[in-house]
């Protein structure tokens, strides 16, 4: 049985003190062992949140990482730096990074590998544009992203730590959610892709999230689907709605 994982992507929102105030207002209401709960604040908050989350159920996640261990990479953050702050999860390949900052499939793969080497979990985002869905290309697009992201990654690492988030770009921040059947079909397809790349056991271990305008009203239905193992939540994770999503049942 796969444990569900619900992660909040705060994106570029909140100063450290605003983020701390919000975190402290919700932290003790999230006390579940049923679901893995992750908060991914901006880099500037990671140090402070690492202390605040000590001994709490909520795990710390990052929104990005660079794949080199150290060196002349101005403005970047290495996996070791994240590990030192007790970061357990890291979003890679979010569509905003792919489209606004030129993150390629190859970079996503390098980032995933660098995180896995240090026993951290990449949350690998994949998903199609509206045009790609309308032209029926969505399965090809997502299959290519999944295969590229997992290139040369050992199956034990996939089983232990990889999370894939299916995030149709047209559903991110738009208030338009994929239907639970559309989301389930693609999450099932992602699992099948991983089965073909590795084996049944690996595919069964893999956790596949859905992301795209998840809110307290649609969470229960989406999360009831067999192949959807959690949610990656953007806008709603900045509000008390996140607690309602975590307690979706
Ligand atoms: C996201 O950016 O990962 C996301 C899912 O955003 P939203 O929930 O706001 O659509």
pLDDT digits (tens, 9 = 90+) for 214-235: 999 999 999 999 999 999 999 9
Is 94 catalytic? The answer is yes
CB of 172 closer than 6 angstroms to any ligand 1 atom: yes
CB of 93 closer than 6 angstroms to any ligand 1 atom: no
Number of the ligand 1 atom closest to the C-alpha atom of 214 = 8
Please give the Cα distance from 231 to 9 (Å, whole number). Answer: 10
CB of 215 closer than 6 angstroms to any ligand 1 atom: no
Residues 28-85 have pLDDT tens digits of 999 899 999 999 999 999 999 999 999 999 999 999 999 999 999 999 999 999 999 9
For residue 173, give every residue at least 6 positions away whose Cβ sits within 8 Å of its Cβ, in sequence order, or none: 213, 234, 235
User: 110 is written with which tokens?
Assistant: 């390098």
Please give the Cα distance from 68 to 49 (Å, whole number). Answer: 24
**Which residue's alpha carbon is nearest to atom 2 within ligand 1?**
234
- Active-site residue among 54, 94, 103, 131? 94
- Candidate from 7, 217, 234 with most ligand 1 atoms within 8 A of CB, to mutate: 234
What superfamily would CATH give domain 4-246?
A: Aldolase class I (3.20.20.70)
- Rg of the chain over all Cα atoms, to the nearest angstrom: 17
**Which residue's alpha carbon is nearest to atom 1 within ligand 1?**
234
Number of the ligand 1 atom closest to the C-alpha atom of 96 = 2
Q: DSSP string of the chain?
A: -PPEEEEEE--S---HHHHHHHHHHHGGG---SSEEEEEE--HHHHHHHHHHTTTSSPEEEES---SSSSSS-TT---HHHHHHTT--EEEES-HHHHHHH---HHHHHHHHHHHHHTTPEEEEEE---HHHHHTT-HHHHHHHHHHHHTTT--HHHHHHH-EEEE--GGGSSSSPPPPHHHHHHHHHHHHHHHHHHS-HHHHHH-EEEEESS--TTTHHHHHTSTT--EEEESGGGGSTHHHHHHT--
User: 211 is written with which tokens?
Assistant: 């992301």
Confidence of residue 1 (pLDDT cuts 50, 70, 90): confident
Task: Specify the range with the lowest mean pLDDT, choosing from 3-17, 97-111, 169-183.
Answer: 169-183
**Which residue's alpha carbon is nearest to atom 8 within ligand 1?**
234
Give this prediction's pTM. 0.97
Q: Is the pLDDT of residue 175 over 90?
A: no
Is 167 catalytic? The answer is yes
The domain segmentation of the chain, as residue ranges, is 4-246
- Active-site residue among 103, 128, 167, 184? 167
């Amino acid at each position: 049985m796969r444990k569900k994982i619900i992660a909040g992507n705060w994106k570029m929102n909140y100063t450290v003190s605003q983020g701390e105030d919000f975190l402290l207002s919700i932290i003790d209401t999230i006390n579940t062992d049923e679901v893995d709960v992750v908060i991914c604040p901006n880099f500037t908050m990671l140090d402070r949140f690492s202390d605040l989350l000590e001994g709490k159920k909520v795990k710390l996640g990052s929104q990005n990482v660079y794949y080199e261990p150290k060196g002349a990479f101005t403005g970047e953050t290495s996996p070791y730096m994240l590990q030192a702050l007790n970061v357990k999860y890291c979003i890679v390949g979010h569509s905003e990074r792919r489209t606004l900052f030129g993150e390629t499939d190859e970079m996503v793969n390098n980032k995933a590998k660098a995180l896995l080497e240090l026993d951290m979990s990449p949350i690998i985002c994949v998903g199609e544009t509206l045009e790609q869905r309308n032209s029926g290309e969505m399965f090809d697009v997502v299959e290519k992203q999944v295969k590229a992201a997992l290139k040369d990654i050992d199956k034990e690492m996939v089983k232990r730590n990889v999370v894939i988030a299916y995030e149709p770009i047209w559903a991110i921040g738009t208030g338009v959610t994929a239907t639970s059947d559309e989301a389930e079909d693609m999450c099932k397809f992602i699992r099948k892709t991983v089965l073909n790349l590795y084996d049944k056991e690996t595919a069964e271990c893999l956790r596949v999230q859905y992301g795209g305008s998840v809110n307290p009203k649609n969470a229960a239905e989406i999360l009831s689907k067999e192949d959807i193992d959690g949610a990656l939540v953007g806008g709603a994770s900045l509000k008390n709605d996140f607690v309602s999503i975590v307690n979706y049942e």
